[in-house]
Structure 1
Amino acid sequence: MFSSREGVTLDSVAAPLRRWLLNPVISVPAALVLSGLGWTNPKPITVKALAPVYLATLAGVLLSLNEYLDRQFANNWVSDKTWNWNEEIVLVTGGSTGIGASICKQLLARNPRTRIVVVDYAPLSWKPEQEGVRLSYYQCDLSKADALRSTCERIKAEVGHPTVVFNNAGLVRGATIMEGSYGDVEATVRTNLIAPMLIIKEFLPEMVKRDHGHILHTGSLSYLTPPALITDYAATKAGLLALHEGLQLELKHVHKAPRVRLSLGIFCFIRTPLVSGHTNVPNFLLPFLHVDTVGEAMVDAVYSGYGSTIYLPGLNRVAATLKGGPEWFFRIIRESTVNFRINFHGRQEVDKETGKLQKA
């Protein structure tokens, strides 16, 4: 009950408590029943025992109200009942391994008829378990704009216009700004930030035309607390947040497409080929996330039919809230990242001068 793929964590303990103890559907009737008992037996001990029940009920109501408002504002107060997963076309960048592969597998597990397009520089490293799936693979160096454009044109002509885009591909070099090469910086920014923008430019017009679609970005808490050695990577994730939030307003107010959904995942460390090591923080508070935990959260988001911001682990939401607090206090939090024992070098090899990918 209190365990997960990552073991016993704060999230795995909090989830059932939120689902049961802080659920207004359960807590409000319980509070009313207990209140009735209190009126019939108004002993001091009975009234005193009701206080925690009232507090839990109030907390549950406020949490549910906040979640409702978050969802409605993120989705322009409109729903979209036209999702048909036999007909949707899903594009996943970086779908050969890691999070992207998990997303693809979970989509196929839910509906083997969903058409999936994987765009990656690395060869496809997995095979579908289901028979007769509609899976297409396109090899592309996403850091090269010309290659990306031609690949997108091929996808439109050969498969169709994607209605769901997972901007998931990422690259990290693990060097300081001073010591990293020109190629390191250029490959990181092109792959992590410019490529998502260009992919959106390619496929968003059809989504706007239909007023139907969903774009999901794989973000990182590093936008908020950038550790040393991945400053360029963290900067691209900060840019991804700005891209996500700016697009929300453009879709609603400029393009008049309120049903095109946008989701952003704010994740901490994930066990992928990009990173390895440990954080020196108790696993209960800051676990290394399993790729399937992240993939499941992203697929749950797209299947919900609503855009959202996904915080994993949940402590990330607290960190985002604290950003507006005293600067000295948040500096202490950021300083703690120097205790991480993480290898950020990833798996890719790039040309030090041009940033061209040489090995996936």
Structure 2
Amino acid sequence: MKDRERAGRRIRMTNLLWLQAGSCGGCTMSVLDHGARGWVRELQNFGIDLLWHPSLSEESGEEAIAILGDVAAGRTPLDFLCIEGSILRGPNGTGLYNRLAGTGRTMLSWVRELAPLADYCIAVGTCAAYGGVHAAQPDPAEASGLQYEGSISGGVLGPDFRARSGLPVINVAGCAPHPGWIMETLAALQMGDFDESDLDRLGRPKFFAKTLAHHGCERNEYYEFKASAEKLSDLGCLMEHLGCKATQAVGDCNQRSWNGGGSCTHGGFSCVACTSPGFEQTEDFLKTPKVGGIPVGLPLDMPKAWFVALAALSKSATPERVRQNATSDRVVRDPRRAGGHDE
């Protein structure tokens, strides 16, 4: 394949094959909005050729089957294999619940054949990474991630799987992932700036998994004073009563805008920790489980004992302005009216 000179570096032209398994298509919808000129142009800019995508490519029927056949036979090199959606192994491990139309084969079979041929295997979204929504109990479809089943290493490819580059499956988790997480992972791999040390213990790229969704949240003043919202329209912190898991969920969601602006908490909705395995098992996404009045899931960035002690101190020191605003749908006490000082 031809190489391309870019910014003084030689970029090898590569192929990307994208398959959709048990998926709602949300990951594709997310990544399509990446880049000023769109995701496909962004791929081209980095020297990545979109070999085939079931929702975006013109090829269908026999043409699409021929592309897959050429890859499987080794006639077309496979650099990036992106899988969107969980792998449905049912019934009874046969994978027959999810067949690739026209091929007479299951998606389970295709993934197990193609993954070892790829230089890099990328699970796009939490479904492909850990099983996701489809794996919620009861799970009649026997859904699984590529190399994890929930938080347990294994999945459909097994714990010892390595792509031709030597890397395990790269889990760009999220439901759906931020478009930047997907494209920046591909770009880093293409530029040779990514190795196994750049993955966390659950196979997620550290560039977005080394921080928490809580970091950068515009509700953090309320969080610091433990001034909590009581209903979704309130301005206060959503953690204590309304199920928000931003202090436990990895992701830079509040440090970069989604599709031009916003995040879950910015939009007034609780973070459901969609980048984490097992998030789908939550009984009530809008209710914080508690034991003895203390939330069960406590922040990851401080010891639990500290949090409990500091929470009591913070509540006792909450300014009246913050207390009143926390349970209102708008700012009712503006600090500017008091010269920047609380009354």
Task: Indicate the TM-score class for this superposition, using the shorter chain for normalisation.
Answer: 0.3 to 0.5
Please report the TM-score for the alignment, with normalisation by the length of structure 1.
0.37
Structure (1 or 2) with the greater helix fraction = 1
